[in-house]
Structure 1
Amino acid sequence: MPEVIVENVHKSFGSVEVLKGVSLTVERGEVIALIGRSGSGKSTLLRCINGLEKINSGRIEIAGHTVSNDPRQLRELRRDVGIVFQSYNLFPHLSVGENIMLAPKIVKNVARAQSRETAEKVLKLVGLSEKFDAYPDELSGGQQQRVAIARSLAMQPKVMLFDEVTSALDPELTEEVLNVMEQLARDGMTMILVTHEMAFARRVATKTIFMHQGKIWEEGASKALFSDPKTPELRQFVKADVK
């Protein structure tokens, strides 16, 4: 059974159709990179998969949950699906450790001692063990993004979604965050990521999906897709990125 199933999904904002019949499946442990120009529907698709945007038609299942508009079902879904955005959204008045401990305590009623143990474990995983008592404004952008990833991991998700998480970072900090994501891939985490980091997609993603005009235009094993694009649109996109 695939971990993610998207079937013929349509999504419009007013009269503008952003997703035009998108279908894909993601097996457990796969890493899927969504690439394409701005406005191609990548981030909208990711937000639909997590129920942050309501679809107009079609079907989405993720981590055993059917995505619906029911608030209770959405809460259950988000216990098993983590999402990390370009903006870190850390609480500035809470320490790093408290930011990470918050969701397990509130959503899963995890005892404080256990949530602290989990927080320490995921901070170690993202290379920030020494920052438990630091506050967000004491961290670099790359460190804050790694804390945001750790915060999602503390919920022990079955699937992780990443929406252009490095686009606001300079190259050195970008590398920090990509290294964490690459380690998650090696550890077998199922991931879907919207990214402009083509070299990372080629190296780490099991499969890459090129979106164009609200549709899946081309998809395949990452290295093959980048090495031998079949459509002129993808050839032009890859060529522009190389420049």
Structure 2
Amino acid sequence: MSEVVVENVHKSFGALEVLKGVSLTVERGEVFALIGRSGSGKSTLLRCMNGLEKVNSGRIEIAGHRLEADPKALRRLRTDVGIVFQSYNLFPHLTVGENIMLAPRIVKDVTKAETQAIAREVLQLVGLSEKFDFYPDQLSGGQQQRVAIARSLAMRPKVMLFDEVTSALDPELTEEVLMVMEQLASDGMTMILVTHEMGFARRVATKTVFMHKGTIWEEGPSKGLFANPRTPELRQFVKSDVK
């Protein structure tokens, strides 16, 4: 069953056309990697999927929601679609537990006792059970990113979007975040990730899409796409970016 459908999406910023008729389908439980050089449209596409950017034309359906400009419709969509960015965006004056509990209490009107239980559950999922009462500045970058993932998971999303979540981390911290994402994938979470971690995409992603100049240049099962790139653009990208 399709969890995400993107159909002929165009997006421009002024005279600059960033997405030029992008279409893709993600099935429930799939892990979809978006790769490509900076400026190819990957992050813009991801932001369009969550309504953070408004498309100029085309259709997006995600987690059973048709993307609309209506604020109420967007709020409903965002209860089912989590997004994690490169920057952690944790509230520094709140503890880890309070950061995670905030959205379920406000958006879903869940009781304090229920949100505490949810927060402890998702912290256990990301391997940070003991950090419930810590403040963000007491955590490493990798731990803060794992808290950001836990915060999204607390909303019980059907789809998770990840936008270059490891690009600000050193290799050791990157690995601990990728381990959490790999566990989510093995648990059946539908995930779309913009990443420069080619080894992770090859190993974990069901499918990989190579974006180039605002279009989907190549796509297919990850292992085959990396092993046998069909175009010179992807061959060069894999050669220069593989770690």
- 2: CA distance, partners of 1:7 / 1:241: 29
Identity of aligned residues (%): 82
TM (norm. structure 2) is 0.99
Q: TM-score, normalised by structure 1?
A: 0.99
Q: List aligned pairs for 1:1-243, cutoff 5 A.
A: 1-242=1-242
Deviations 1:179-208 (A, max 9, x none): 000000000000000000000000000000
- Deviation at residue 68 of structure 1 after TM alignment: 1.0
Does the residue aligned with 2:209 lie in a helix, a strand or coil?
strand
The residue identity in structure 2 corresponding to 1:160 is M
Task: List, as ranges, runs of 4+ consecutive aligned residues in structure 1 with deviation greater than 3 Å.
Answer: none
Q: Distance in 1 between matches of 2:226 and 2:234?
A: 9
Following superposition, the deviation at residue 222 of structure 1 comes to: 0.2
Q: Which runs of 5+ in 1 are unaligned?
A: none
Q: Distance in 2 between matches of 1:44 and 1:204?
A: 23
Quickly say closer, same or farther: Cα 1:55–1:95, change in 2 above 3 A: same
Asked whether the equivalents of residues 46 and 161 of structure 2 are also in contact (C-alpha less than 8 Å), the reply is yes
Q: Which amino acid aligns with 2:42?
A: K
Shift of 1:126: 0.2
Aligned equivalents of 2:91, 2:182: Cα separation in 1: 26
Structure 1: which amino acid aligns with 2:94? L
SS of the residue 1:3 aligns to: strand
How far is 1:241 from its partner?
Answer: 1.6
Structure 1 CA distance, aligned partners of 2:241 and 2:153? 31
In the alignment, the residues of structure 2 paired with residue 241 and residue 123 of structure 1 have an alpha-carbon distance, to the nearest angstrom, of: 32
2:199–2:242 contact (8 Å) kept in structure 1: no
Which 5+ residue runs of structure 2 have no aligned equivalent? none
- Count of residues in correspondence between the two structures: 243
Q: Secondary structure at the match of 1:113?
A: helix
Counterpart Cα distance in 2 of 1:240 and 1:104: 42
Q: 1:28-74 deviations in whole A, cap 9, x for unaligned?
A: 00000000000000000000000000000000000000111100000
1:242 to partner: Cα distance = 3.5
For 2:70 and 2:14, locate their aligned partners in 1 and report how far apart those are by CA, in whole Å: 22
User: Over aligned residue pairs, what C-alpha RMSD do you find?
Assistant: 0.6
